[in-house]
């Protein structure tokens, strides 16, 4: 079965990307993987003493967010699976796309960082440059 990977951080732009990913998955009759990468590194550098606790909390929140997105996809009749991984977001997204052998990546143009820079955020920028798969960037 063909599959797609949605990079999802729970931000408004990534929710818009979720809608596009659901539409695409329906049209292609593809399975949808929904991936949230928890950047544990950032938290542990700032608060080394309570790094473990923060990591746990971040993973928990991530799982809830991903589950909500998976439910939305399933309600729309799409086969969906949530994935939560710890790591550096763009690298992990590219790695999972390869491992799951998806036919394309769907990603928002922006995330929580907002529309402060040029065209797109740093995560989508790096994914476009590093991935060997087609990348659908959802604007707005």
CB of 135 to ligand ATP, least distance (A): 10
Nearer to Mg ion, 82 or 111 (CB): 111
Query: Cα(11)–Cα(89) distance, rounded to whole angstroms?
Result: 14
DSSP, residue by residue, 57-98: HHHHHHHHHHHHHHHHHHHTT--EEEEEEES-HHHHHHHHHH
Tell how far CA 51 is from the center of its chain: 23
Residue of 29, 28, 52, 32 lying closest to 40 (CA atoms):
52
Give the nearest distance from C-beta 107 to Mg ion in angstroms: 11
Q: Is 17 in the site for ligand ATP (CB under 6 A)?
A: yes
* 113 contacts Mg ion (rule: CB under 5 A): yes
Based on the shown chain and the rule CB under 5 A, indicate whether residue 114 belongs to the binding site for Mg ion.
Answer: no
Using the 8-state DSSP alphabet, how is residue 119 labeled? S
Please, are residues 140 and 109 in contact by the beta-carbon 8 Å criterion?
yes
Site for ligand ATP in 95-134 (CB under 6 A): 107-108, 110-114, 121-124
Q: Which of 34, 36, 70, 78 binds ligand ATP (CB under 6 A)?
A: 36
Out of 8, 32, 80, 97, the only residue in the binding site for ligand ATP (CB under 6 A) is 8
Closest contact distance (angstroms) between CB of 39 and Mg ion is 9
């Amino acid at each position: 079965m063909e599959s797609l990977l949605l990079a999802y951080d729970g931000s408004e732009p990534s929710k818009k990307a979720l809608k596009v990913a659901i539409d695409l998955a329906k049209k292609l009759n593809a399975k949808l993987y929904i991936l949230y990468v928890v950047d544990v590194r950032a938290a542990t550098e700032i608060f080394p003493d309570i790094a473990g606790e923060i990591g746990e909390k971040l993973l928990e929140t991530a799982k809830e967010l991903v589950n909500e997105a998976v439910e939305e996809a399933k309600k729309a009749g799409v086969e969906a699976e949530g994935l939560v991984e710890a790591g550096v977001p763009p690298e992990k997204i590219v790695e999972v796309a390869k491992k799951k052998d998806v036919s394309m990546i769907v990603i928002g143009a922006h995330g929580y960082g907002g529309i402060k820079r040029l065209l797109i955020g740093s995560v989508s920028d790096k994914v476009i440059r590093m991935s060997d798969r087609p990348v659908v960037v959802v604007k707005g």
